[in-house]
Amino acid sequence: MPFRKKIIIFVVLALAGFLILLYSSFIFRIETDQTLYQYEINILLYVSISLFIVVLVLVGRLMKAFGKARQSLQDLQKFKLAVDNASDCISITDKDGIILYVNHGMEKITGFKPEEVLGKKIGSKDLWGGNMSLEFYQKLWTAVKTKKQKFSVEFNNHRKNGEEFVAAVSISPILDEAGEVKFFVSIDRDITVAKRIDLVKTEFVSLASHQLRTPLTSVKWHAEMLLAGDAGSLSKDQRDFAQEIYNSNERMIDLVDSLLDVSRLDLGTLKVKGLPTNISESIKDLIKDIRPLMTKKKVKLIEKYDQPLPIIELDKRLFFVIIQNLLTNAIKYSKTGGEVVLEIKCEGTANVLIKVADKGCGIPIKDQARVFDKLFRADNARKIEPDGNGLGLYIVNSIVKQCQGKFWFETKENVGSTFYISLPIKLSKK
Ligand code: ADP
């Protein structure tokens, strides 16, 4: 029989026994000295019954509350068991980063037992942290403690035995009713193996792209020679076929170049060579390159440059890559006969702002957060231009970061997009 039922039966029996005892004592008095009147007995009866009902109701409520508390306790135990045994490392710290709780996952990842870390500062060198730069930790604390924001990042950490590992960490501040930080919850996942596999894949892409570049260049030369009539004059069909070979090969070269850039960026082997550059001159060469696309789409390019533009410290090839990607996109995703604006102006004495605006298809709200992701293409863009690879904006974003600049955009579906790049005139030494 459940515990709750047992208690109810016990209380009811005890109460009933008590009332029977009370009642019989009155009967006894009536039988012995006749001093008790009938109305007294009735009142006593009513009071006893009312009391009995009240006690019954109270006991029922008490049992209900007791049942709920027991259920909550069971839920809490289940929840604790789940957190304790989760495969990711879960830790709770106070607002100064002192460890209050860690689960078993932490021991699996770092090698430290919970009792070795409780009461110590999370992320310290004598535990599994302390390998990142001072600025990095400052940024982290500003985000979670001052701005009270979630912070997700990859950490290079070390295990108890000194072995290095990479963890994907997400730290969330937990606030009290007054909005003040009460404590922090951190979830760490060991991504060392995934990172290694990723590296091998990137190295493979890099190698394959290098190997592909040579035959593609050879195809390009020979197609050019055929088109130039070096092997004799061509019939119309022969010329059309050779032109098709040339165009497809150009698309392939673009893709291979993008893959090479992506692998270099991912491997960290793409070095920024900042040399004093006249951007007006560089832009002229670049526009020459994309003129055929503009003609094909009948798009008009409006150029607005501050005069004179400063000489800026720039990696000319990388600058070419970013502007070419933005202009090509603006043209590709514009309507035929549309208009694209390229604006370059000084922002004080420290930065140059580059703006590429179009009145094309825009980026749907649901896709805006993903357009800097590798290989991502929005559905509306796929319909307009089936031949994209979704690598351009990833490359631009990574290069701009390496050039110590900022990259952002404004867009509205079916209205248009404006992409902005702010670049420093002088690169700071790292
Ligand atoms: P690709 O253009 O080859 O698809 P990108 O990396 O350059 O790849 O762009 C990623 C996606 O961002 C595009 O597929 C498109 O959905 C969106 N996008 C980029 N530029 C524009 C633009 N100017 N107008 C509308 N959508 C754009």
Structure confidence by residue, pLDDT tens digits, 89-117: 999 999 999 999 999 999 999 999 989 99
Measured in angstroms, how far is the CA atom of residue 257 from the centroid of ligand 1? 17
Per-residue tokens: 77 = 């135990």
Q: Using CA positions, which residue lies closest to atom 11 of ligand 1? A: 377
Measured in angstroms, how far is the CA atom of residue 413 from the centroid of ligand 1? 12
Looking up tokens 């798009």 gives: 299
Cα–Cα nearest to 189, from 154, 159, 162: 154
3-state secondary structure of 321: helix
Q: What angle do CA 347, 422, 376 make, to 5 degrees?
A: 155
Give CA–CA dist 422/73, Å, rounded.
56
Q: What angle do CA 120, 122, 128 make, to 5 degrees?
A: 100
Give CA–CA dist 203/146, Å, rounded.
40
Measured in angstroms, how far is the CA atom of residue 13 from the centroid of ligand 1? 79
Cα–Cα nearest to 95, from 179, 173, 188, 152: 173
Ligand 1 pocket, Cβ-based, cut-off 6 angstroms: 325, 329-330, 333, 358, 360-363, 371, 376-378, 381, 388-394, 417
Measured in angstroms, how far is the CA atom of residue 382 from the centroid of ligand 1? 9
Q: How many beta carbons lie within 10 A of that of residue 12, not counting itself?
A: 14
Looking up tokens 């012995």 gives: 32
Q: Using CA positions, which residue lies closest to atom 25 of ligand 1? A: 362
Structure confidence by residue, pLDDT tens digits, 184-241: 999 999 999 999 999 999 999 899 998 999 999 999 999 999 999 999 999 999 999 9
Q: Using CA positions, which residue lies closest to atom 21 of ligand 1? A: 329
Note the pLDDT of residue 9: 77
Query: Do 173 and 180 touch, CB atoms closer than 8 A?
Result: no
pTM for the predicted model, two decimal places: 0.69
Q: Using CA positions, which residue lies closest to atom 19 of ligand 1? A: 329
Q: Using CA positions, which residue lies closest to atom 12 of ligand 1? A: 371
3-state secondary structure of 211: helix
